[in-house]
Every structure is written in structure tokens, then in C-alpha cells.
Chain A
């Protein structure tokens, strides 16, 4: 953005809008300031070097990346189905698949427990036939995180697929490309910015996931205790440590959002969307 454009933008903004927007910014910035202000800076490195902390951090990273990967693998086809295929009850299916965005995560965790727990509707067979147990395992954490994170990717990618001019896919077909080749080489690259945005949103949601995880997977250091759980627990035992962990989690998320913004959200590739065409 050039300096001139920024100045014009400021001049064009009505004062009440500016005032309210400023309140919103302060509202989001204050908690961070509060944490930074209360942080025990002299002991910070000591807490961060703690084995339990590193274990929780590593677990958080591994599980949230797995959840993001699963969200992409299953979420993109789901978004495609919702965007492109007309079938009866499509709106119901869409509502069902995005329900976990509005559901309290604890409720989601309980529901998962009755579905995939050892006595659950599917879980009992997983246990009997495959000797697979999800609750209170690291895999359970991934399942809980995927459950709450995937909708973010689905709605982002679906919106982008709806905007994409389908004639580009027609052009690909007339050039001899199968539907699958067209999907990989034309559709996917065209929705790449939305896919990246959706993946980041899903990852951020998975990283911060607390309620579903603690209900479905429990809180076992090393296997299911992710960073948010560690923060919550240390709040009772060691508030100073909680502050440091919270800051760390915030710093990581903040860095990723800032870092990816310019790269993927800054210049949307809209040349192939119907809006631009």
C-alpha cells in the first residue's frame, strides 16, 4: 500500500466509525497487554525450559497439524460437494457439518464420547474389531480438534468454489483433461488462496481447542495435555507459569497470522473468479 492511498483512506473514514473501530482494536489488544504486563519476565526462560511445557507445546503442534491435515483431506472434497453438487437436503448437510462451530466445544466432546468412546455407537466396534480406542489418547485429541476445526476450512473453501468461474473447468475438459486432472490442475490452484486461509483458520482453531479435547481425550501430560489444557491447569497451581504459557501460545498464533497474511491473503487471485470475469 502506498503512502498516498493510506492517507486518502484515513481521510475518507467517518469519525464514529473510526472511534468504534478503535474501541474494537483496544478490546483485542488489552488482554495481550495485560499478559505482557503481568508476565514474570525474570523467570520466563525457566518456565519455558520446563519439560512439561515443552511436552505440551510439542503435543499441541503435532495434534493441530494432524487436525489441519485431516481437515484438508476431508474438508476440500466436502466443500466441493456442498458447492457443486445439487442434492436434496444439501442445506441440512451443510448445517450438520458446520454445527460444531456454534456448539459449545464441551458438548461436542461429550457427543464424540458417545459416538467414538468404548461404549459408543461406533467406538464399541472400533474397540472390538480393530482394538482401537480413541478417548484419552493422542489420536483422540486429533479427532476432537478436527471435529471443531474442519468447518472453518469447509466454509472458506466452499465460498471460493462458488465464486470460481466453472467455464475454466469446461476449458480444461475440452483440452483433454479428465475431471480428476481438472480438479487437481485447474480447480485446486484457483482456490489456493482460500484453501490456505481456511487451513490457517482451522489450524488456529485446533491449536486453541480446549473443551472438546478435555472432555473426549482427558488431560494426561505427554499424551493428551495440549497447551491450552496446560495453561488452564497451571492457572490453579502456578499462575506465573500460566501467564508465560499463555503468552507463548499467543505469540505463536500471532506470528503465524501475521506471517501468512501478506503471503496468502494479501493478493487474492481473483482473476479466475466470476466476480472478476
Chain B
């Protein structure tokens, strides 16, 4: 009862060759830049883009296998798809949109509308049920699209950049909502995003997609700590620190304190870029205004002319320094070290 896909597809300049496995209850995020082929991978899983070679199996049913001439049409796959700009049907009310999938599957109109109303209420859109989608805000439209996709009780939910169409101000709260709704879904989920913060907030595992290839798979913590290439390091190799903000200080579960420039109080996520971290053997007196944490060096990875230094301690961090700095500090695994960051170099998001 899993998703297992080997996908090969050439489409224009895109050369896709990827393997995915997702188990029930798991959310896999496909993370990568625009044009990497993430959305096309989703379209392959949905049956909107037939693959050239490979095999896609959903819940023990082969849905695409060109070698054996098997192809299940999109409408016969147990899927739900939330598109990037939601694609709600403008000539129907919100309720009719949500009921669409059930009606298309020949449910009786009364039954379809009853189930749809249930979903509309569940995503908090009861008062908009009879309105046209254009009257909804971005976040509401996303919830309507999610309800529409879930109303047919799919086994595999596909989400294509569900937060990209939103402005920065509403993203955090919509992300929180989305997480809450996704948690109630026990099937398999694949989410496409270009934002590591989305992946951190929503995904159990990430697959990094680069130019049609999956270059690394793992939990976000694994990938962040040990990016296998410069490219992955640049994309996701940031330190994501979760904690509660109060009085300009974010406190992690382990009790580490991170001074931040300005942020709203509440459950938050701080992004500390590895190259903004300074490493010193002994903190000097003039550093009182900075964040300074002590720890021991766990590992040292060289990626080209850069070196990533993993630090264990109350606040586990990855720092990125030059080879010259590594030589002058003469760092070795097991050494004690102090890491410091300017408060203004830390980005904070409400989680």
C-alpha cells in the first residue's frame, strides 16, 4: 500500500529520470528550483503526462507502465491534485466545485452536495459555499481546492506549490492551516515546493530535484546537515531552528536562546544561513551583542572551495567557512568551538 514510481520522460528540454517511494501517512516534498521538473513529476503521477519508460504503482495497482502497455487515465487513478493557482471552476459555486469530483463519479446530487458541504465546513468556508471562487482570498481558494481534491477520498494527494500564489503576509498562516488539514489525511502525499521553509513545516522527507534528477533524498534534517553537493547546500543547506519567540529571543525546545532582530511573538522558525556563521576558538569581549553558542565539532565536509562544519551542542548548527579559514583555525572533529551570528542575519518566520 505505497506509491512507488520510476519515471523517465523527455518533454521539450526537460529530461526527467527519477525514482520515488512514499508510504501511507508520509508527506514527501519535492524541492528544487523552477524548471527542475518537479511539477512534471507530479503530472506523471497524476496521469496528465504519460511516461516514456518506467513504472508507477499506487496501492499495488500499476497505473503507468509503457513497457507493458498499461496506462490508467487520470480520472481512474485514486488521486487528488491541488494545483498551483488552484484552478477552481469559475462558473460554479465553491460548493459545486467541491462536489464536482463526486458528481463526476456518478454520486447522486444530494449525496454529493451533502459530502461537499461537510468538506466546505471542515475547511472553514461554510459562509462562502454559495459564492463564486473569484470572491475568495488566496488562502480561502487554496482551502477550497484542497477540499475539492480530498472530497473524493483519494489515496494519493498531490500538491503543486500550494503556497506559491500567496503573498508573504498570508503565507505563514495559510501554511499552518494547510499543515493542520494535511495532518488529518492518512494517505500518501507528495508536495512540490521551491521553499525549504514549506518543506520544513509540512514534509516528513524531502527529495531534492535538480535538472530532472533526484539528487538527494532524506529527512530535511539529514539533507540540511549533509548536503551532497554545492547545489543542494545552496538550496536547502540552511539551519532551521524552531522555537518560541518572546521579547526578541527565540528559545528552542532544548533551551538554546537565539537573539533575533524583530519578530512577532509565538511559535516560529528561524533561518540561519551557514555562511553567516562565524567560528572562533575563544569568544572575544566585544561580541556581547551577538549570538554566541558553544559546541563541539561533529564533522567537516569539503564541498569545492567551501567547508561545511557540523557543530553539536545545545543548538546544533552547520557553518560554512572557506578552506583558508579552516586552515587558520586548524579545526578537527571533537574540538570545542564557538559559533556566532549577528541577530540581523537571522530570518524569522511564524511557524
Contacts and interface: CB of A to CB of B under 8 A. Distances in A.
Interface of A: 165, 167-168, 170-178, 181, 185-186, 189-190, 192, 269, 271-272, 277
B79 A269 contact: no
Contacts of A165: 87
A171 B152 contact: no
Sort chain B's interface into a size bin.
20 to 34
Interface string B335-347: 0000000000000
Contacts of B76: 176
Interface of B: 43, 46-48, 73-77, 79-81, 83, 85, 87, 89-91, 100-101, 103-105, 134, 148-149, 152, 158
16 contacts: A165-B87, A167-B87, A170-B81, A170-B83, A170-B87, A172-B89, A172-B100, A175-B104, A176-B104, A178-B75, A181-B104, A185-B103, A185-B104, A192-B91, A271-B134, A272-B91
Nearest to B46: A174
A168 B89 contact: yes
Given A181-B104, A271-B134, A174 B89 contact: no
A174 B74 contact: yes
A264 to B, nearest CB: 14
B91 A177 contact: no
B103 to A, nearest CB: 8
A192 B148 CA distance: 23
A172 to B, nearest CB: 7
A171 B134 contact: no
A175 B73 CA distance: 11
Given A176-B101, A177-B104, A181-B104, A171 B75 contact: no
Contacts of B104: 172, 175-178, 181, 185
Contacts of A186: 89
Contacts of B100: 172, 175, 177, 185
A189 B46 contact: no
B251 to A, nearest CB: 43
The residue in A165, A168, A175 that gathers the most chain B C-beta atoms within 10 A of its C-beta is A175
A178 B105 CA distance: 9
